[in-house]
Amino acid sequence: NLDGIFENIIEVGRATGATDRAEALVRALRGRVRRVAERAAGVERPKVWCAEWLDPPYGSGHWIPEMVRLAGGQEVVGAEGVDSRRVTWDEVVRAAPEVVVLMPCGWTTEQVASRFDREGASGRWRELPVPLHARRRDRDQHRGLGLPHQRGRRGYRRDDHDRACQPDGGAD
C-alpha cells in the first residue's frame, strides 16, 4: 500500500543519511495524496480496470487500486493490498469497467498503443462499456503508477493534473 511505500522511503533515507530529505518527500507525497482524495470526495466513482497485462488479462493489485480509489475511481477487477492476478475475460466483462487504464509492466506508451490498436477493436474488448479510443490517454506505466520508488510519485502528479479517473475526463 502507499503507507508501506512511504515507510520504505523513510527507511532508505535513514540508511543513507538522508532522513530529513526522505521525511520531507513523504510529507509532500502524503499532502499530494490528501489533496487528490479531497478533490475526489463526493464525486461519482466510475468503475475502473487497471490492466497490468493484456493477454492474458491481469487485474491490478498492491497499491494501484488504492490510488484509483483515492483519485475517485473504483477498481472493479483488481484488489487493494494483494498481488496482481490473472483474470478471465468473463470476469472483466462482468465487472463492466467504464474506464480502462492499460499499464502492462515495462511497456512504453508506444508498445501499449500498438498492441491495443492491433487487438483492441476485436475480441472481448468490444464487450466493455467503455468506448474504445474515446478518451485515450497515453501513459508509460513504468514511468508512473506502477513503481514503488520516487518516480512512482508521478502517477499522482499526472492524475492530479488530468483527473484520469473522473467520468468527464477532467479538464482537457
What number of CA atoms fall less than 13 Å from residue 137's CA on the CB side? Answer: 20
pLDDT along the chain (172 residues), means of 10: 94 97 96 93 90 88 93 93 92 91 86 75 73 51 42 42 41 36
DSSP letter at 146? Answer: T
Q: What is the pLDDT of residue 156?
A: 41
Per DSSP, which regions of the chain are E strands? 47-54, 57-59, 74-75, 85-86, 99-102
Asked if 123 and 70 touch (Cβ cutoff 8 Å), the reply is no
